[in-house]
C-alpha cells in the first residue's frame, strides 16, 4: 500500500532545490474515544480472594453460553447444574474449566520438605499427556473425558459441555461450545485511507545498537523526515501510533542489586533509568508529530498484575509537554475514527501459549476472541487484580481490530463470526528482534507489515531501508 | 500484683461451635455461630479493643437478633457468590447488578445500621484472608 502510493509520485530526491516546498498535513483524527475505563483501578484493596472474580465470570458468561448451547444443540436441550445431574441422562452443563497439570509450577510443592524438590527450571510449555480437565460450576466439580481436546484448553475458560455422567462419576463429553463472538457494531465507512501504526517490543536499554537504528528509522518515517515526497505523503496518512508494550528490554529488570551487598550497589543506577530517558526522547520526537498511545508491557515500570496501569507521566518530562502523548492501560480499548480497537501487550497470549498445545500466537488470539475472554488464565497463572464486582476481561462487544503485542513473528487475519462479525486479528511482532511494525488501514481493515533494517558497518552502502510489503 | 499475666491474654478469645459437616450444599448451611465473645478488661484496667457486647447498644436503635440472623443467611446463600472479603452492602449491590434479585429486606437492614460493624461486615470479617 505504502510503496505503491509512493511510486506513483514523481521522484524528487537528488534534484536541485526548488522554490516551493511541498508540505503535507497529517490527517486529523476526527473522533477518538478512550474506552479503557473498566481497566483503570482506583483504590486498590488486596484483602480479597480470587473466588470473586471466578464467581462473577461464571455468572456473567452463563447467559451467553446458554443461548449458544440452545443455538447449536436445539432449543429443547436441558441445561443443568452439576448437582442436578442424573447418570446416563444427556444434558448440557455450563461451567469453568480447570486443567490439572502435573508440570505446572506450584510454590507449595517447591517449598514442601517431604518432596525434596529443587525449583523447576522454567520451560516453554507446561503441557503433559497426563493433564486432566475438570469442570466447575458454583457448587461442584466433575472430571471431563471424551471428545474434548485436553491439551488445547486452559484453566479459566467458561464453556458449555454436552454429554452425560458415567457411573464412574466422570462426565463423558460428546460436544462442547464456547460463547463465540460478542455482537459487533458495523464498522464506519471512511472515505480516505487512514493508517494506525502498531509497534511493540521496542526493547530500549537492551544493550543492542541495531534496534536503535530501526527505532530511529521508524520515528523518521512516521514524522515524515524520511523518503521521497511520495513516502512523506503516505506517512501523513498515519493518524495514530500505538506502542503496545515492552518499551524497555527485559535486561533492565536485572535483580543483581537485590542480591549484592549494599556497599557494592550504592552508586549503581537501575538500568531502567537510562532506558526511560531514551524512551522519553523517542516519545518526544513522535508525539511532536502524531498522537501516540503508550501501553505498558511485561518489563515496563508499572504494576505486574493485569490490568496494568498507565506509566506515570513524571517519567517523561520532555514528552508530556505534548497533549498528543497518551499513557494508557494494558489491555487498551479505544475507538479511533469509529473503528474499535482492543489489544494487549501480549502477556495473555504468551501465558496461554505456555499452558496449551496451540503453537501459533495468532491462533491463540483468535481462540481468546471465540471464548469471549481476553485472558482466561488470569488469575490462575497470570497475575490479576482481585476484582469482585465484575470481570472486566470479558468482551462486552466485539472489536473491529484485535491485537496483541510482542509475538515472535507478524501475523494478521480476518476472522468472521457467526453473526457476520468481521474482526482483524493482528499479532504485532517484537520490534527489537524482528524490526517489523504493523500498519492497519482503517478504511479497508487490512494490515500490512513494515520492516526497518540497516546493514552493518562492513557493507559499503549503509542504511538501505526496506519499506512496504 | 494480681495473677500472672500470660501472653495469650492479649489474643482475642473466640469460641467456636462446630457445624455439622457433610450436608448437601444445595440447602442453606445451619448457622455456624462464630461471633467473637466479648473481651474482658485485663488486670491493669486497660479496656480491650473489641467492646461489642450483645444486648448493649451505643446506637439509638437496637439490633434485632432476627435481623442478624437474616444477614447471616444472606451471607451463606450460595447464589450471590462468595461473601468473604467484601462488605454485605457491596455483595448486595453486586448481586443486584448481575440480576440475581437479592432480598430487599437485607438492604433495608443494612441501611438502618450504617456504622455497626456486625451488620456491615460479613461473618468472617475478623479472620484474615
Q: Residue B40: its pLDDT value, please?
A: 45
Q: Let me know: does A425 contact A400? Beta carbons within 8 Å.
A: no
Residue B94, C-alpha cell as written in the block: 453486586
Q: Which residue has the cell 504494576?
A: A303
The span from the CA of A460 to the CA of A419, in Å, is 56
Point out the residue among B25, B82, B94 whose CB comes nearest to the CB of A51.
Answer: B82
Closest CA to A52 of B76, B86, B125: B86
Give A29-76 pLDDT, tens digit per residue.
778 889 899 999 988 888 889 999 999 999 999 999 999 999 999 888
Domain ranges of chain A: 2-8+27-42+183-254+268-451, 50-106+123-177
Burial class (CB in 10 A: 0-12, 13-18, 19+), A122: exposed
Residue A5, C-alpha cell as written in the block: 502510493
Share of chain A above pLDDT 90, in %: 49
B49-88 residues touching A, CB cutoff 8 A: 78-79, 81-82, 84-86
pLDDT grade for B17, boundaries at 50, 70 and 90:
low
Q: Which fold has domain A50-106+123-177?
A: OB fold (Dihydrolipoamide Acetyltransferase, E2P) (2.40.50)
Residue A438, C-alpha cell as written in the block: 504493523
Q: Let me know: does A422 contact A414? Beta carbons within 8 Å.
A: yes
Interface test with B, best of A50, A59, A396 (most B CBs within 10 A): A59
Q: Residue A20: its pLDDT value, please?
A: 72
The span from the CA of A286 to the CA of A291, in Å, is 8
The mean pLDDT value for A444-452 works out to: 89
Interface touch A83/B100, C-beta < 8 Å: no
Interface touch B78/A138, C-beta < 8 Å: yes
Mean pLDDT of chain B: 70
Q: Residue A1: its pLDDT value, please?
A: 54
**Is residue A331 reached through a cis peptide bond, with omega within 30 degrees of 0 on the bond before it?**
yes
pLDDT grade for A89, boundaries at 50, 70 and 90:
confident
Share of chain B above pLDDT 90, in %: 13
Give B61-119 pLDDT, tens digit per residue.
566 788 889 899 999 998 898 988 888 999 999 999 999 899 999 999 888 888 888 88
A296 φψ region: left (φ > 0), alpha (ψ -120 to 50), beta (else): beta
Q: Residue B22: its pLDDT value, please?
A: 42
Q: Let me know: does A277 contact A234? Beta carbons within 8 Å.
A: no
Residue A241 CA, chain-centre distance (Å), reads 16
* pLDDT value at A323 more than 80: yes
- The larger pLDDT score, comparing residue A328 to residue B113, is at A328
Residue A164, C-alpha cell as written in the block: 452425560
Cβ contacts of A16 within 8 Å, gap of 6 or more: none
The span from the CA of A46 to the CA of B85, in Å, is 9
Closest CA to A58 of A136, A132, A133, A173: A136
Residues of chain A that touch chain B, judged by Cβ-Cβ distance less than 8 Å = 47-49, 51-52, 55-56, 59-60, 83, 138-140, 386, 388-390
CA geometry: angle B54, B56, B61, nearest 5 deg: 105
Give A169-184 pLDDT, tens digit per residue.
899 999 999 998 999 9
Give how far B92 is from chain A: nearest CA, Å: 10
Interface touch B85/A52, C-beta < 8 Å: yes
Give how far A306 is from chain B: nearest CA, Å: 20
Do A2-8+27-42+183-254+268-451 and A50-106+123-177 come out as alike in CATH topology?
Answer: no
Give A209-236 pLDDT, tens digit per residue.
667 888 999 999 999 888 777 788 888 8
A–B interface: beta-carbon pairs under 8 A: 46
Closest CA to B2 of B39, B42, B34: B42
* pLDDT value at B37 more than 90: no
pTM for the structure as a whole? 0.81
Q: Which residues pair with A240 in a beta bridge?
A: A196
Interface touch A60/B98, C-beta < 8 Å: yes
- The larger pLDDT score, comparing residue A263 to residue A301, is at A301
* pLDDT value at B38 more than 80: no
pLDDT grade for A117, boundaries at 50, 70 and 90:
low
**Is residue A307 reached through a cis peptide bond, with omega within 30 degrees of 0 on the bond before it?**
yes
Residue B84, C-alpha cell as written in the block: 468473604
Q: Residue B46: its pLDDT value, please?
A: 47
* pLDDT value at A252 more than 70: yes
* pLDDT value at A317 more than 70: yes
Q: Residue A209: its pLDDT value, please?
A: 66
Q: Let me know: does A284 contact A319? Beta carbons within 8 Å.
A: yes
Determine which of A365-369, B35-39, B64-68 has the lowest per-residue pLDDT on average. Answer: B35-39
* pLDDT value at B44 more than 60: no
Please compute, for residue A306, the number of CA atoms within 13 A of its CA located in the half-sphere on the CB side: 27
Q: Residue A395: its pLDDT value, please?
A: 92
Q: Residue A122: its pLDDT value, please?
A: 77
Q: Which residues pair with A411 in a beta bridge?
A: A427
Q: What is the 3-state composition of chain B as percent helix, strand, coil, each rounded to the nearest 5? A: 35, 0, 65
Determine which of A21-35, A235-249, A375-389 has the lowest per-residue pLDDT on average. Answer: A21-35
Q: Residue B9: its pLDDT value, please?
A: 78
Give how far B78 is from chain A: nearest CA, Å: 8
Interface touch B81/A83, C-beta < 8 Å: no
Q: Let me know: does A332 contact A341? Beta carbons within 8 Å.
A: yes
Interface touch A139/B26, C-beta < 8 Å: yes
Q: Residue B6: its pLDDT value, please?
A: 80
Give how far A106 is from chain B: nearest CA, Å: 20
Q: Which residue has the cell 500505538?
A: A242
Give A292-313 pLDDT, tens digit per residue.
999 999 999 899 898 999 999 9
Q: Which residues pair with A334 in a beta bridge?
A: A34, A341
* CA atoms A427, A431, A436, A438: torsion sign: positive
Cβ contacts of A68 within 8 Å, gap of 6 or more: A160, A177, A178, A179, A180
The span from the CA of A429 to the CA of A413, in Å, is 14
C-alpha distances out from residue A420 to A63, A188, B106, Å: 20, 15, 45
Q: What is the ipTM of this complex?
A: 0.81
Q: Let me know: does A347 contact A306? Beta carbons within 8 Å.
A: yes
Residue A339, C-alpha cell as written in the block: 473503528
Interface touch B98/A56, C-beta < 8 Å: yes
SS (H, E, C) chain A: CHHHHHHHCCCCCCCCCCCCCCCCCCCCCCCEEECCHHHCCCCCCCCCCCHHHHHHHHHHHHHHHHHHHHHHHCCCCCEECHHHCCECCCEEEEEEEEEECCCCCCHHHHHCCCCCCCCCCCCCCCCCCCCEEEEECCCCEEEEEECCCCCCCCCCCEEEEEEEECCCCCEEEEEEECCCCCCCCCCCCCCCCCEEEEEECCCECCCCCHHHHHHHHHHHHHCCCCCCHHHHHHHCCEEEEEEECCCECHHHHCCHHHHCCHHHHCCCCCHHHHHHHHHHHHHHHHHCCCCEEEECCCCCCCCCCECECCCCHHHCCCHHHCCCEEECCECEEEEECCEEEEEECCHHHHHHHHHCCCCCHHHHHHHHHHHCECCCCCCCCCCECCCCCCCCCECCCCCCEEEEEEECCCEEEEEECCCCCEEEEEEEEEHHHHCEEEEEECCCCEEEEEECCCCCCCCCCCCCCCCCC
What is the DSSP secondary-structure string of B43-64?
A: TTSPPPS----TT--SSSSPPP
Interface test with A, best of B85, B90, B128 (most A CBs within 10 A): B85
Q: Which fold has domain A2-8+27-42+183-254+268-451?
A: Purple Acid Phosphatase; chain A, domain 2 (3.60.21)
* pLDDT value at A458 more than 60: no
Q: Residue A447: its pLDDT value, please?
A: 92
* pLDDT value at A441 more than 50: yes
| Residue count (chain A) | 469
| Residue count (chain B) | 129
The span from the CA of A56 to the CA of A393, in Å, is 11
C-alpha distances out from residue A404 to A57, A325, A393, A445, B112, Å: 22, 21, 14, 16, 49
* pLDDT value at A118 more than 80: no
Q: Let me know: does A346 contact A297? Beta carbons within 8 Å.
A: yes
Share of chain A above pLDDT 70, in %: 90
* pLDDT value at A154 more than 90: yes
pLDDT grade for A392, boundaries at 50, 70 and 90:
very high
Amino acid at each position: 500500500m505504502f510503496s505503491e502510493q509512493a511510486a506513483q509520485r514523481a521522484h524528487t530526491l537528488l534534484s536541485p532545490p526548488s522554490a516551493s516546498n511541498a508540505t503535507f498535513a497529517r490527517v486529523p483524527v476526527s473522533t477518538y474515544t478512550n474506552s479503557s475505563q473498566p481497566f483503570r483501578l482506583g483504590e486498590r484493596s488486596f484483602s480479597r480472594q480470587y473466588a470473586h472474580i471466578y464467581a462473577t465470570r461464571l455468572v456473567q458468561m452463563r447467559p451467553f453460553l446458554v443461548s449458544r448451547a440452545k443455538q447449536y444443540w436445539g432449543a429443547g436441550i436441558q441445561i443443568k447444574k452439576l448437582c442436578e445431574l442424573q447418570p446416563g441422562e444427556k444434558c448440557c452443563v455450563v461451567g469453568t474449566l480447570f486443567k490439572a497439570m502435573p508440570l505446572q509450577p506450584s510454590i507449595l510443592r517447591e517449598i514442601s520438605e517431604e518432596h525434596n524438590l529443587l525449583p523447576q527450571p522454567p520451560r516453554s510449555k507446561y503441557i503433559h499427556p497426563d493433564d486432566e480437565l475438570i469442570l466447575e460450576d458454583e457448587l461442584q466439580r466433575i472430571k471431563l473425558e471424551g471428545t474434548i481436546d485436553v491439551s488445547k484448553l486452559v484453566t479459566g475458560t467458561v464453556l458449555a459441555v454436552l454429554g452425560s455422567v458415567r457411573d464412574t462419576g466422570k462426565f463423558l463429553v460428546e460436544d462442547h461450545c464456547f460463547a463465540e463472538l460478542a455482537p459487533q457494531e458495523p464498522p464506519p465507512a471512511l472515505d480516505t485511507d487512514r493508517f494506525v501504526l502498531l509497534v511493540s517490543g521496542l526493547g530500549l536499554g537492551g544493550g543492542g545498537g541495531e534496534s536503535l537504528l530501526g527505532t530511529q528509522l521508524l520515528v523518521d518515517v512516521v514524522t515524515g523526515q524520511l523518503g521521497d515526497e511520495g513516502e512523506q505523503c503516505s506517512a501523513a496518512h498515519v493518524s495514530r501510533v500505538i506502542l503496545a508494550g515492552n518499551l524497555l528490554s527485559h535486561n533492565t529488570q536485572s535483580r543483581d542489586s537485590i542480591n549484592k551487598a549494599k556497599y557494592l550497589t550504592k552508586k549503581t543506577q537501575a538500568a531502567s533509568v537510562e532506558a526511560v530517558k531514551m524512551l522519553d526522547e523517542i516519545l518526544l520526537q513522535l508525539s511532536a508529530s502524531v498522537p501516540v498511545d503508550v501501553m505498558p508491557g511485561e518489563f515496563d515500570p508499572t504494576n505486574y498484575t493485569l490490568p496494568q496501569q498507565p506509566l506515570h507521566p513524571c517519567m517523561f518530562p520532555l514528552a508530556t509537554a505534548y497533549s498528543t502523548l497518551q499513557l494508557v492501560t494494558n489491555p487498551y480499548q479505544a475507538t479511533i475514527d469509529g473503528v474499535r480497537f482492543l489489544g494487549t501487550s501480549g502477556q495473555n497470549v504468551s501465558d496461554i501459549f505456555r499452558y496449551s498445545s496451540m503453537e501459533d500466537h495468532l491462533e491463540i488470539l483468535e481462540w481468546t476472541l471465540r471464548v469471549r475472554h481476553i485472558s482466561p488464565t488470569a488469575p490462575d497463572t497470570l497475575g490479576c487484580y482481585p476484582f469482585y464486582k465484575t470481570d472486566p476481561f470479558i468482551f462486552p462487544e466485539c472489536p473491529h481490530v484485535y491485537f496483541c503485542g510482542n509475538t515472535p513473528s507478524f501475523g494478521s487475519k480476518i476472522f468472521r463470526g457467526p453473526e457476520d462479525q468481521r474482526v482483524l486479528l493482528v499479532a504485532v511482532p517484537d520490534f527489537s528482534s524482528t524490526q517489523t511494525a504493523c500498519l492497519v488501514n482503517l478504511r479497508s481493515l487490512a494490515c500490512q507489515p513494515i520492516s526497518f533494517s540497516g546493514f552493518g558497518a562492513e557493507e559499503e552502502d549503509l542504511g538501505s531501508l526496506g519499506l512496504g510489503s | 500484683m494480681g495473677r500472672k499475666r500470660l501472653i495469650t491474654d492479649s489474643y482475642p478469645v473466640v469460641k467456636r461451635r462446630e457445624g455439622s459437616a457433610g450436608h448437601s450444599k444445595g440447602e442453606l448451611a445451619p448457622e455456624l455461630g462464630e461471633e467473637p465473645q466479648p473481651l474482658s478488661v485485663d488486670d491493669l484496667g486497660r479496656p480491650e479493643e473489641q467492646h461489642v457486647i450483645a444486648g448493649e447498644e451505643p446506637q439509638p436503635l437496637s439490633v434485632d437478633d432476627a435481623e442478624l440472623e437474616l444477614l447471616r443467611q444472606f451471607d451463606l446463600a450460595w447464589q450471590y457468590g462468595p461473601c468473604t472479603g467484601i462488605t454485605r452492602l457491596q455483595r448486595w449491590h453486586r448481586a443486584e447488578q448481575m440480576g440475581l434479585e437479592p432480598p430487599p429486606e437485607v438492604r433495608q437492614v443494612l441501611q438502618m445500621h450504617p456504622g455497626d460493624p456486625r451488620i456491615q461486615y460479613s461473618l468472617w470479617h475478623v479472620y484474615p484472608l
